[in-house]
């Protein structure tokens, strides 16, 4: 099971590290290895959230997620995205941006750093909306009940998540963005840029997430109708046709996953510049990490881990909320990737341990109930 799921990740790791040695020697090997670990630690919460969505998709779309999806993740976000940032921020063509990334790495890093406020605002708002929609939803299983119960009641207010997100964006634009950090330690006013980028992130979430939710609801309705038709067909002895809507639902869920992964990758891409400004080493290291995140997502789905450890999804979403706020704070202040990754690992680890304790308590209760039943049977002479 492990080899089947992580086989491609192991292969890509070997190829990536060998390529790093040929490209820049053992120093490059070490940089790529560090970047891989950085990406995995920063994106573990991404894998948990992705698993919660991916488990609703069939084997075909899970395979698409691991093939086409990984191409988008590795080449799109880890290689093309930093080049696009430079091209847009410096008003140059993509070929010029690639040439700059390869020939003038310091200037390339400067342009990416200067574009960070808009990247952080876009990604921060997208992730914040994911977190807010999660905590304001009334769920049967609650992890931090003292917090989640009152928030679920507040969640009945229409558009509350959007209102809070816009308030957070407005405050960020008037505080952090007014003194945004730039390359070389300078600070400039980026309030307008942050506002526009944040609104774009919010709109992107509402469009992609809205379409995903719409088609998911339609799919559930269609599956219910399909079940009724199947029962009627069985009674009449007639065959029935497959439902085509599942493809649309799966497509938009796949699209949502890709946008979600892109938002998670922002901090990894920006954080990588603290280690190297070589775009080749960056793509190799972050690409290896992205492969493990993808494989881990599928592993969680196939093992049913989220069903066994029910608080994991809660911990991942709290980590998302923390990451969203950290991204907004980094518009003005530099925050170590160790802190960013450490918070996510702590929250997920805490939720995992809470799940283990819950499972033990349930098993103990069931054991006591079974023992009580046996005692009753014996005393009654059965």
Instruction: Note the pLDDT of residue 184.
Output: 67
Selection from 111-120, 241-250, 291-300, 319-328 with the highest mean pLDDT: 319-328
**Lowest-pLDDT range of 22-31, 130-139, 227-236, 363-372:** 227-236
The CA angle 251-254-258, to the nearest 5 degrees, is 140
pLDDT surpassing 50 at residue 245: no
Q: Classify burial at 360, counting beta carbons within 10 Å of its beta carbon; exposed 0-12, middle 13-18, buried 19 or more.
A: exposed
Instruction: Evaluate whether residue 381 is within a structural domain.
Output: no
pLDDT surpassing 50 at residue 243: no
Please provide the average confidence, as pLDDT, over all residues in the chain.
80
**CA-based torsion, 252, 254, 259, 260: positive or negative:** positive
Instruction: Note the pLDDT of residue 189.
Output: 87
Q: How many Å apart are CA 311 and CA 358, to the nearest integer?
A: 9
User: Residue 55's CB: how many other CB atoms inside 10 A?
Assistant: 17
Instruction: Note the pLDDT of residue 219.
Output: 61
Instruction: Evaluate whether residue 198 is within a structural domain.
Output: yes
Instruction: Note the pLDDT of residue 244.
Output: 39
Instruction: Note the pLDDT of residue 206.
Output: 87
pLDDT surpassing 80 at residue 372: no
Instruction: Note the pLDDT of residue 248.
Output: 67
Instruction: Note the pLDDT of residue 166.
Output: 95
pLDDT surpassing 50 at residue 113: yes
What pTM does this model have? 0.74
Instruction: Note the pLDDT of residue 367.
Output: 78
Selection from 55-64, 168-177, 215-224 with the highest mean pLDDT: 168-177
Domain that holds residue 313: 2-371
3-state secondary structure the chain: CHHHHHHHHHHHHHHHHHHHHHHHHHHHHHHHHHHHHHHHHHHHHHHHHHHHHHCCCCHHHHHHHHHHHHHHHHHHHHHHHHHHHHHHHCCCCHHHHHHHHHHCHHHHHHHHHHCHHHHHHHHHHHHHHHHHHHHCCCCCCCCCHHHHHHHHHHCCCCCHHHHHHHHHHHHHHHCCHHHEECHHHCEECCHHHHHHHHHHHHHHHHHHHHHHHHHHHHHHHHHHHHHHHHHHHHHHCCCCCCCCHHHHHHHHHHHHHHHHHHHHHHHHHHHHCCCCCCHHHHHHHHHHHHHHHHHHHHHHHHHCHHHHCCCHHHHHHHHHHHHHHHHHHCCCCCCCHHHHHHHHHHHHHHHHHHHHHHHHHHHHHHHHHHHHHHHHHHHCCC
Instruction: Evaluate whether residue 377 is within a structural domain.
Output: no
Average pLDDT for residues 259-281, to the nearest whole number? 70
Nearest Cα to 130, choosing from 286, 327, 303, 298?
A: 327
**At 252, is the pLDDT very low, low, confident or very high (cuts 50, 70, 90)?**
confident
pLDDT surpassing 90 at residue 161: yes
Q: How many Å apart are CA 159 and CA 278, to the nearest integer?
A: 43
Instruction: Evaluate whether residue 378 is within a structural domain.
Output: no
Q: Hey, which residues does 188 pair with through a beta bridge? A: 180
Q: How large a percentage of the chain has pLDDT more than 90? A: 14
**At 216, is the pLDDT very low, low, confident or very high (cuts 50, 70, 90)?**
low
Instruction: Note the pLDDT of residue 238.
Output: 60
Choice between 106 and 359, residue whose per-residue pLDDT is larger: 359
pLDDT surpassing 50 at residue 133: yes
Nearest Cα to 119, choosing from 74, 89, 76?
A: 89
Model pLDDT for residues 164-190, shown as the tens digit of each residue: 999 999 999 999 888 887 766 777 888
The number of folded domains in the chain is 1
Instruction: Evaluate whether residue 376 is within a structural domain.
Output: no
Contact between 20 and 28 under an 8 Å Cβ cutoff? The reply is yes
pLDDT surpassing 50 at residue 276: yes
pLDDT surpassing 90 at residue 34: no
Instruction: Note the pLDDT of residue 251.
Output: 77
pLDDT surpassing 60 at residue 264: yes
Instruction: Evaluate whether residue 121 is within a structural domain.
Output: yes
């Amino acid at each position: 099971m492990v080899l089947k799921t992580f086989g491609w990740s192991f292969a890509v790791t070997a190829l990536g590290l060998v390529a790093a040695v040929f490209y820049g020697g053992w120093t490059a090997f070490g940089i790529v290895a560090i970047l891989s670990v950085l990406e995995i630690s920063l994106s573990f919460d991404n894998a948990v959230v992705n698993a919660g969505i991916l488990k609703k998709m069939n084997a075909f779309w899970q395979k698409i997620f691991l093939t086409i999806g990984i191409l988008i993740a590795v080449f799109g976000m880890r290689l093309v995205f930093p080049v696009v940032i430079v091209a847009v921020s410096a008003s140059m063509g993509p070929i010029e941006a690639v040439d700059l990334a390869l020939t003038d790495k310091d200037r390339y890093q400067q342009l990416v750093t200067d574009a960070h406020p808009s990247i952080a605002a876009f990604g921060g708002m997208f992730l914040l909306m994911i977190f807010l929609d999660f905590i304001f939803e009334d769920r049967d299983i609650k992890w931090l009940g003292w917090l989640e119960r009152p928030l679920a009641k507040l969640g009945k207010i229409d558009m509350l998540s959007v209102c809070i997100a816009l308030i957070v964006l407005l405050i960020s634009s008037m505080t952090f963005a007014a003194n945004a950090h730039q390359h070389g330690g300078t600070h400039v006013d980026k309030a307008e840029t942050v506002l526009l980028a944040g609104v774009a992130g919010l709109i992107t979430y509402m469009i992609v997430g809205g379409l995903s939710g719409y088609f998911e609801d339609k799919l559930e309705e269609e599956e219910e109708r399909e079940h009724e038709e199947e029962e009627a067909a069985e009674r009449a002895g007639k065959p029935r046709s497959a439902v085509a809507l599942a493809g649309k639902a799966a497509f938009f869920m796949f699209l949502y996953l890709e946008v979600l992964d892109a938002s998670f990758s922002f901090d990894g891409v920006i954080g990588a510049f603290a280690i190297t400004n070589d775009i080749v080493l960056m793509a190799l290291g972050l690409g290896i990490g992205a492969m493990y995140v993808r494989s881990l997502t599928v592993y969680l789905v196939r093992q049913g881990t989220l069903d066994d450890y029910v608080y994991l999804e809660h911990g991942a979403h709290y980590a998302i909320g923390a990451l969203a706020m950290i991204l907004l704070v980094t518009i003005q202040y530099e925050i170590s990737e160790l802190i960013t990754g450490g918070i996510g690992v702590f929250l997920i680890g805490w939720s995992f341990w809470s799940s283990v304790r819950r499972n033990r308590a349930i098993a103990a209760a069931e054991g006591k109930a079974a023992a009580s039943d046996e005692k009753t049977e014996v005393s009654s002479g059965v």
